[in-house]
Structure 1
């Protein structure tokens, strides 16, 4: 079984090895990551932290991740996971121990649940929909971010390549 961090490293290789169908920013330094965690009031799990550190934000073969990044137009404001998570908390009552990492395409957010930490420090991946507060009502997509994202992106790249 691949660890969550190993899966994140393989995901980084997948994105870099498919630069014709992938995009990414320049990554996040330790200061930006610490600021993001302070704003959210929760630490990023190691596998998510690793990919955000490498890319900031990224997409591959149609799978787009929020990440953490800044733009010239928005200045020092932290965009991506930070703004979308805080917005979902403020507007829709998303629990404060969830971190949004993707949109699910159907009105919900794919989130990391920091209330359930595994032995490697990672969090499970769930689908959160506005108004849902009971974890039993949330679909569980994976045991950790690295494994979930690698599997999702590997399938997307395969589909993309086969359809080309």
Structure 2
């Protein structure tokens, strides 16, 4: 198991151990994950796949993390990362190789840069917003999603 996936496993345990303040969905099956990847034209890194399979989507207020899920009201529409990524592409000019994993008041869009996979198939985490002059202006937040989410969840729980 890679360090990023280990961090994701710690997040899952942290969320389940703190269900009095944290929330999560039921998880996501492989068909839904495949449909999500197809809709975005991007592959989830192992650490994100681990989180989505176990939690679907989750939050530790005030932090809300986008996963992949559906609701009865929206039917077959893939919500979370898929909807936010596709909407940001069409309305805000998000580059096609960035995947939205969080929308934040401070950072704007928290994204994975799928054009920069490491040896484990993980992507770096950046802050992106439509006003950035170029990709080199994006703030790097973490080397992988697992470690980013673990740090953010721990901070939210400790507050």
Q: Same fold (TM over 0.5)?
A: yes
Quote the Cα distance in structure 1 between the aligned partners of 2:117 and 2:133.
Answer: 18
Which portions of structure 1, spanning 4 or more consecutive aligned residues, are displaced by more than 3 angstroms? none
How much does 1:133 deviate?
6.4
Relative to structure 1, the CA distance from residue 100 to residue 84 in structure 2 (aligned partners, 3 Å threshold; closer, same or farther) is same
* Structure 1 residue 71 corresponds to structure 2 residue 74: no
Quote the Cα distance in structure 1 between the aligned partners of 2:108 and 2:63.
Answer: 15
* Structure 1 residue 47 corresponds to structure 2 residue 47: yes
Give the TM-score normalised by the residue count of structure 2: 0.95
How much does 1:132 deviate?
3.2
Q: How many equivalent residue pairs?
A: 158
Structure 1 unaligned segments of length 5 or more: list them.
160-164
Residue of structure 2 in register with 1:162 after alignment: none
Residue of structure 1 in register with 2:141 after alignment: 141
Is the contact between residue 25 and residue 55 of structure 1 (CA under 8 Å) also seen in structure 2? yes
Quote the Cα distance in structure 2 between the aligned partners of 1:32 and 1:133.
Answer: 35
How much does 1:55 deviate?
0.8
Residue of structure 1 in register with 2:90 after alignment: 90
| Aligned pairs (5 A) from 1:1-164 | 3-106=3-106, 108-132=108-132, 134-159=134-159
How much does 1:143 deviate?
0.2
Structure 2 unaligned segments of length 5 or more: list them.
none
How much does 1:61 deviate?
3.5
How much does 1:131 deviate?
4.3
CA RMSD of aligned residues (A): 1.3
Is the contact between residue 45 and residue 121 of structure 1 (CA under 8 Å) also seen in structure 2? yes
